[in-house]
């Protein structure tokens, strides 16, 4: 930036043009073709309406620039006096009407296809919450949260940004190729919108209501998108990543998930069967804090005004343990403090509460055990 404003006028222009060109090459000039049949149909419709606009624009602007040159006062000192022609006016009312009718016929056809949510092979409930996605495999009966995995150091320009900056998550959604996957969208708090450009699926996730959309993805691969409805502070940090795997590997993946879930259950039992020391809990708590709490309450616990209260010196953090546990487990109604109970394990919650009560400027000396959390649920 400093360079841009220190060079000469011509240099500055060259610099700007360089940015325009590099930007265009980095992302392309056009709508992404995507991989599904629908996304390609939409791109074809986009091109149709774009070309209609370009042709109409060329005619209208062409006539306008011709008259600007040909009928300026030095060329045409005596203006004409005519000021209406019913015939011409009827013609240029009818022609746009016909163009519009021509456009809506293919558009209606595609829209009917998009809205046909019947006969799905697999249904996934996509629930938005501030600011993460939860994916629930309804037939298989399990689910998980999907959080942004870009480190805050990259967002705050301390570290160089990775290739998939802001478009990477810890647990991507996994779906099989070639099958019709139905996405039900809903929300735990405000309105979010689940968008994968390459599938041409964009569906708002409304609290208390369920919407549906579907995709049949022929090509395995990793597809990235974002939340597209302003959902509060971290709206920019709510990516969607979908791994499409071959159909025959999908059942295997589901089985692996089941085994992992069982292992998690056993680990939870092991965790609450023994006492943990402060030295063990603090580093776990710090990790949990930084990846879940720090975006609002800040890494140093200083908070952001009254909406995101400070941890340092907080009455809840330094008060009775029960109230602190309840706040973390159940959230605070009517605020952006969400219920972390369903999202984190007993150990993680015990660790983060221990961390909050013995760091960030607080010094209660208390150690909270996973068993306490288990009993508070």
Binding test (CB under 8 A) with other proteins, winner from 8, 93, 273, 277? 93
Binding mask 330-369 for other proteins (x = CB under 8 A): ----xxx---------------------------------
Give the distance from CA 212 to its chain's centroid: 17
Closest approach of Cβ 111 to other proteins, in Å?
Answer: 4
Whose CA is closest to 225, among 188, 185, 190? Answer: 185
- Interacting span for other proteins (CB under 8 A) from 88-96, 120-128, 214-222, 323-331: 88-96
Whose CA is closest to 60, among 84, 96, 90? Answer: 96
Of the two residues 100 and 260, which places its CB atom closer to other proteins in the complex?
100
- Write the DSSP assignment of 259-294 as a string of letters: HHHHHHHHHHHHHHTS---HHHHHHHHHHHIIIIIH
- Interacting span for other proteins (CB under 8 A) from 22-30, 262-270, 321-329, 344-352: 22-30
Radius of gyration of the chain measured on its C-alpha atoms: 28
**Residue 23, Cβ neighbours under 10 Å: how many?**
10
Binding test (CB under 8 A) with other proteins, winner from 11, 40, 76, 218? 76
Count of residues in contact with other proteins, rule CB under 8 A: 111
| 237: CB partners within 8 A, 6+ apart | 131, 148, 150, 155, 166, 295
- Which residues ranging from 231 to 290 are in contact with other proteins (CB under 8 A)? 231-237
Q: Are 205 and 126 in contact (CB under 8 A)?
A: yes
Whose CA is closest to 356, among 306, 267, 308, 287? Answer: 287
Of the two residues 166 and 339, which places its CB atom closer to other proteins in the complex?
166
Sign of the dihedral defined by the CA atoms of residues 199, 200, 205, 210, in that order: negative
Specify the residue for token string 């390609």: 40
Of the two residues 20 and 267, which places its CB atom closer to other proteins in the complex?
20
Binding test (CB under 8 A) with other proteins, winner from 7, 14, 40, 97? 97
- Which residues ranging from 104 to 123 are in contact with other proteins (CB under 8 A)? 104, 107-108, 110-112, 114-115
Closest approach of Cβ 30 to other proteins, in Å?
Answer: 6
- Interacting span for other proteins (CB under 8 A) from 44-52, 139-147, 254-262, 320-328: 44-52
- Interacting span for other proteins (CB under 8 A) from 209-217, 241-249, 282-290, 363-371: 209-217
**Bridge partners of 169?**
148
Closest approach of Cβ 205 to other proteins, in Å?
Answer: 9
Binding test (CB under 8 A) with other proteins, winner from 61, 142, 262, 265? 61
Binding test (CB under 8 A) with other proteins, winner from 267, 304, 315, 342? 304
| 94: CB partners within 8 A, 6+ apart | none
- Which residues ranging from 120 to 149 are in contact with other proteins (CB under 8 A)? none
C-alpha angle with apex 95: 93 to 100, nearest 5 degrees?
100
Residue 154 interacts with other proteins (CB under 8 A): yes or no:
yes
Closest approach of Cβ 217 to other proteins, in Å?
Answer: 16
- Which residues ranging from 308 to 337 are in contact with other proteins (CB under 8 A)? 334-336
Q: Which two tokens mark 235?
A: 């709206």
- Interacting span for other proteins (CB under 8 A) from 67-75, 265-273, 286-294, 359-367: 67-75
| 322: CB partners within 8 A, 6+ apart | 376
């Amino acid at each position: 930036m400093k360079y841009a404003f220190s060079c000469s006028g011509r240099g500055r222009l060259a610099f700007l043009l360089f940015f325009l060109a590099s930007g265009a090459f980095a992302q392309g000039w056009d709508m992404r073709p995507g991989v599904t049949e629908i996304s390609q149909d939409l791109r074809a419709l986009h091109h149709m309406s774009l070309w209609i606009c370009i042709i109409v624009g060329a005619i209208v602007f062409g006539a306008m620039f011709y008259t600007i040159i040909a009928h300026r006062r030095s060329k045409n000192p005596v203006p004409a006096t005519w000021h209406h022609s019913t015939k011409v006016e009827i013609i240029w009312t009818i022609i746009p009407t016909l163009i519009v009718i021509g456009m809506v016929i293919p558009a209606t056809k595609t829209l009917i296809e998009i809205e046909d949510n019947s006969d799905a092979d697999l249904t996934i409930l996509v629930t938005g919450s501030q600011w993460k996605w939860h994916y629930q495999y309804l037939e298989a009966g399990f689910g998980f949260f999907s959080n942004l995995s870009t480190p805050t150091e990259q967002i705050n320009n301390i570290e160089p940004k990775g290739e998939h900056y802001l478009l990477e998550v810890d647990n991507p959604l996994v779906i099989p190729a070639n099958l019709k996957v139905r996405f039900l969208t809903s929300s735990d708090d405000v309105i979010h919108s689940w968008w994968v450009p390459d599938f041409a699926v964009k569906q708002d996730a409304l609290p208390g209501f369920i919407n549906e959309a579907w995709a049949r993805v022929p090509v395995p691969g990793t597809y990235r998108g974002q939340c597209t409805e302003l959902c509060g502070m971290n709206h920019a940090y709510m990516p969607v990543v979908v791994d499409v795997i071959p159909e025959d590997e999908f059942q295997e993946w589901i089985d692996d998930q089941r085994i992992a879930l069982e292992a998690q259950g056993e680990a939870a039992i092991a965790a609450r069967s023994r006492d943990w020391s402060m030295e063990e809990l603090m580093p776990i708590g710090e990790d949990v804090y930084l990846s879940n709490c720090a975006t609002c309450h800040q890494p140093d616990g200083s908070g952001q005004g009254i909406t995101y209260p400070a941890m340092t010196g907080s009455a809840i953090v330094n008060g009775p343990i029960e109230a602190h546990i309840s706040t973390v487990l159940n959230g605070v109604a009517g605020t952006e403090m969400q219920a972390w109970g369903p999202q984190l394990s007993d150990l993680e919650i015990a660790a983060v509460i221990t961390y909050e009560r013995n760091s960030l400027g607080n010094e209660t000396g208390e150690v909270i055990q996973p068993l306490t959390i288990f009993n508070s649920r």
